[in-house]
Amino acid sequence: MAQVYDCAVIGAGPGGGATAYHLARRGYRVLVLEKESLPRYKPCGGGVSPAVAEWFDFDWSPAIATYVDTIRYTWQMEERVDAPLELERPIWMVRRDSFDHFLIKKAVAQGAELRTACPLTALERRGDRWELTTSAGSFTSRYLVAADGAKGPTARWLGLEKRAILIGGAIEVEIVAPVPEPNVAHFEFALVKDGYLWNFPKDNAHSIGIGSFGHRKVDLKTPLARYVESFGLSLAGVTLHGHPLLLWRGPSRLHTEGAILCGEAAGIVDPFTAEGIRPSLYTGVQAAGAIAAALAGEPNALERYSEQIKREWGEDLRWAERLAQVFYAFPRIAYRVGVQQPSATRTMGKILSGSLRYRDVAERAIRRLVGHRR
């Protein structure tokens, strides 16, 4: 008789890897289907809050390229501001090929079964089982976790495509060249509407990108080239990687019979900073708990997962969305009265580290920005 898995996880990114790790660690039979061969390149700035270490019981240091303790801001590549994060632990900078592969290998070491270069092509609910069709044959699983990212089809196949999201866009490049200050992350706020540019250090490489998080379609390539040149670098011969961002826009139903969404497929990218790795890991950890509870016979475990993400993450992102609307509507004022103040960086550092929530500071920040607009 063919094996019946307790849970099939679609996608081996941070959300899928976290789900697989925590379920396998509990002793469940977990299948991970990843459409690419691993390790695979994934365009991503790669900034990760060290707070995520609290959700796992292993050392992440082999997957970290470098550490950042200072942020450098510019406006039209001038008006430079250097701001120490003043965190107990610096921000991690990771390459997603190494980071994702490291996590999924941890899941495999716990007993998860990984199938790579194995895209899911169809799924069907039969009784209390999922029948999954792939390029490597068919599999059967009691539960399903869709963690196949912004462009994955599984949410649509599950009937959960109507999420409250705003689709942003980003272009990223990695340029191998000496990094003079490997502890400094750069942000530029004037060259693109409704977003920013960044240069994040990696080990002997610059991870440079541009993102726009509003409703307007804007030219991303021209300002990106200009920004790259400001570091004495060039886009000549460099591959540009574009991708959508599923920015949180409101609470959504993240479950259906026998299945849930996690990671970026759940539309939980921060609408203010576009942070995605920490939310993906968080939803993966919570997804594992929900599936384990369902396997133990709790009838409303998956519904409670949707409610938990709404309550513990979504309510905070509601304030992030409000802050983003004001910040990107009046970027010059926001830069002058917000970004240029050392307290702003300290506050964002605390939000990234989990010691502060948007709800604690956003209302006051919005009042301040609106007050200077009048």
What values do phi and psi take at 73, rounded to 5?
Answer: -105, 150
Kindly tell me if the per-residue pLDDT of 249 is higher than 70.
Answer: yes
Pairing outcome for strands 113-115 and 30-33: parallel
CA distances from 26 to 17, 107, 108, 289 (A): 14, 11, 13, 10
Kindly tell me if the per-residue pLDDT of 132 is higher than 90.
Answer: yes
CA distances from 230 to 76, 110, 208, 332 (A): 10, 46, 11, 21
CA distances from 23 to 227, 295, 363, 370 (A): 43, 11, 38, 46
Percent of the chain at pLDDT > 70 equals 99
In angstroms, rounded to a whole number, what is the distance separating the alpha carbons of residues 173 and 224? Answer: 9
Per-residue tokens: 11: 């996608």
Q: What domains lie within the chain, and their CATH numbers?
A: 4-164+247-373 (3.50.50.60), 165-246 (3.30.9.10)
Per-residue tokens: 295: 């396997």
Kindly tell me if the per-residue pLDDT of 139 is higher than 80.
Answer: yes
Which pLDDT does position 2 carry in this prediction? 72
Q: Which residue has the tokens 């007993």?
A: 111
Kindly tell me if the per-residue pLDDT of 1 is higher than 60.
Answer: no
What burial letters (b/e) apply to 125-164, b meaning 16+ CB within 10 Å?
Answer: eeeebbebebeeeebbbbbbbbbbbbebbbbebbebeebe
Q: How does pLDDT run across 77-111, given as a tens digit for each residue?
A: 999 999 999 888 899 999 999 999 999 999 999 99
Contact 9, 29 (CB under 8 A): no
